[in-house]
C-alpha cells in the first residue's frame, strides 16, 4: 500500500525492517523490566541495574 501511493520505495524496506526489529526488542525488554523490576541482585548480593535496561536503551538509539 505504501509503495502504491509512492510513500515507500524498495530501498526503504531494509530501514523499515530494522526499525521494526528495534521496536520489537524495546518492547520485549520493557516487558521484562516490568516483570522483574529495574534492579537485580548479583551472586555477591550487590544491587545493580537490570541488563534489560541497556537492551531497551540500545534499541531506542
In a domain, residue 2? The reply is: no
Three cell numbers at 25?
526488542
Strand partners for 41: 47
Q: How many C-beta neighbours within 10 Å does residue 20 have?
A: 10
* Inside any domain, residue 44: yes
Instruction: For residue 8, tell me if it sits in a domain.
Output: no
CA-wise closest residue to 29 among 9, 7, 50, 2: 50
Q: Does residue 3 fall inside a structural domain?
A: no
In the predicted model, is pLDDT for residue 1 greater than 90? no
| Domain span at 34 | 14-60
Round to whole Å and give the CA distance between 41 and 11: 45
pLDDT tens digits, residue range 18-30?
999 999 999 999 9
User: What whole-number distance in Å separates Cα of residue 34 and Cα of residue 56?
Assistant: 12
| 5 belongs to a structural domain | no
pLDDT of residue 24: 97
pLDDT digits (tens, 9 = 90+) for 2-61: 777 777 777 678 888 999 999 999 999 999 999 999 999 989 999 999 999 999 999 998
Bridge partner list, 39: 49
Amino acid at each position: 500500500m505504501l509503495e502504491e501511493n509512492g510513500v515507500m520505495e524498495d530501498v526503504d524496506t531494509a530501514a523499515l525492517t530494522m526499525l521494526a526489529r528495534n521496536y520489537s526488542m524495546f518492547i520485549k525488554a520493557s516487558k521484562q523490566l516490568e516483570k522483574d523490576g529495574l534492579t537485580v541482585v548479583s551472586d555477591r548480593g550487590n544491587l545493580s541495574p537490570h541488563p534489560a535496561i541497556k537492551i531497551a536503551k540500545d534499541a531506542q538509539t
